[in-house]
């Protein structure tokens, strides 16, 4: 299950942070590192700070966009501060670990971390099903990138060990759509909403953002999403 957990770093600007994050991952049994549009390369400082986890840094997948990084993921959680004006379903770190262990049994899942100074953009945060906030000291809540990776990786590991030690068989995991399938649904939904004049071509963003939030909160399963796509197709045939 731990092999299905991706740690995704977006726009990392300091090579040492890649190494420190890799070390934090390996300590907790995670090995799948993805770098999105890194502003630095894996260098000597990366390897020095990775210590015994240089293999994770050197084998990291490098992609251009967050969408590409999480295309095959059934669950995507972005690390975020609660002070964001963007309202989105939130998880506590412990809940995040539990969800990852549950859903990571059958499909890839991703923990997404933003830039050192500015974090994730609102657009990137909307790529995620949930946001997770580490409840640090409100008087000094500054965590560096490796600390955040370490904290959330720890919660994943603790949830994993708890499940391993459980004497009860877990229920069969629900099958959720991959991120790319969810994006196809949103494109289809927006197209039909425009064709039926429910939303205008000029300003579709506000309504679509609310619909994205709704479906992120509802988490439709793969079969349920297929039903919704079928309804949209039926509407298209009716109005054509």
User: What residue ranges do the domains of the chain occupy?
Assistant: 2-168, 179-239
Beta-bridge partner residues of 7: 33, 111
Stretch among 25-39, 160-174, 207-221 having the lowest mean pLDDT = 160-174
Q: Taking Cα atoms as reference points, which of 39, 28, 38 lies closest to residue 60?
A: 38
Nearest partner of 149 among 174, 126, 173, 132, judged by Cα: 132
**pLDDT mean over 163-172:** 70
- Going by their DSSP bridges, the two strands 61-63 and 90-91 should be labelled as unpaired
In CATH, which of 3.30.70.260, 1.10.10.10, 1.10.8.590, 1.20.120.420 is domain 179-239? 1.10.8.590
Residue 86: band (very low, low, confident or very high) from pLDDT cuts 50, 70, 90: low
Query: Which sign, positive or negative, has the C-alpha torsion 4, 187, 220, 113?
Result: positive
* Residue 171 confidence (pLDDT): 64
**pLDDT tens-digit series, residues 34-54:** 999 999 999 999 999 999 999
pLDDT for residue 205: 79
Q: What's the fold here for domain 2-168? A: Alpha/beta knot (3.40.1280)
Question: Confidence class of residue 216 from pLDDT cuts 50, 70 and 90?
Answer: confident
- In this prediction, residue 84 carries a pLDDT of 56
């Amino acid at each position: 299950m731990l092999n299905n957990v991706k740690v995704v770093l977006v726009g990392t600007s300091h090579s040492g942070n890649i190494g420190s994050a890799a070390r934090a991952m390996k300590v907790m049994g995670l090995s799948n590192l993805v770098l999105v549009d890194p502003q630095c390369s894996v260098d000597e400082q990366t390897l020095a700070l990775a210590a015994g986890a240089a293999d994770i840094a050197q084998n990291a997948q490098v992609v251009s966009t967050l969408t590409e990084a999480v295309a095959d993921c059934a669950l995507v959680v972005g690390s975020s501060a609660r002070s964001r004006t963007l309202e989105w379903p939130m998880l506590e770190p412990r809940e995040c670990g539990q969800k990852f262990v549950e859903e990571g049994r059958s499909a890839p899942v991703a923990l997404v971390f933003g830039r050192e100074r500015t974090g994730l953009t609102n657009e990137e945060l909307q790529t995620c099903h949930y946001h997770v906030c580490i409840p640090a000291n409100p008087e000094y809540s500054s965590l560096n990138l490796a600390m955040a990776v370490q904290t959330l990786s720890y919660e994943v590991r603790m949830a994993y060990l708890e499940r391993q030690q459980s004497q009860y068989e877990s229920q069969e995991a629900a099958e959720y759509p991959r991120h790319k399938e969810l994006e196809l649904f949103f494109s289809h939904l927006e197209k039909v909403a425009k064709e039926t004049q429910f939303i205008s071509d000029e300003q579709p963003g506000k309504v679509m953002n609310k619909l994205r939030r709704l479906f992120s909160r509802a988490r439709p399963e793969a079969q349920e999403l297929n039903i919704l796509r079928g309804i949209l197709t039926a509407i298209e045939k009716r109005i054509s």
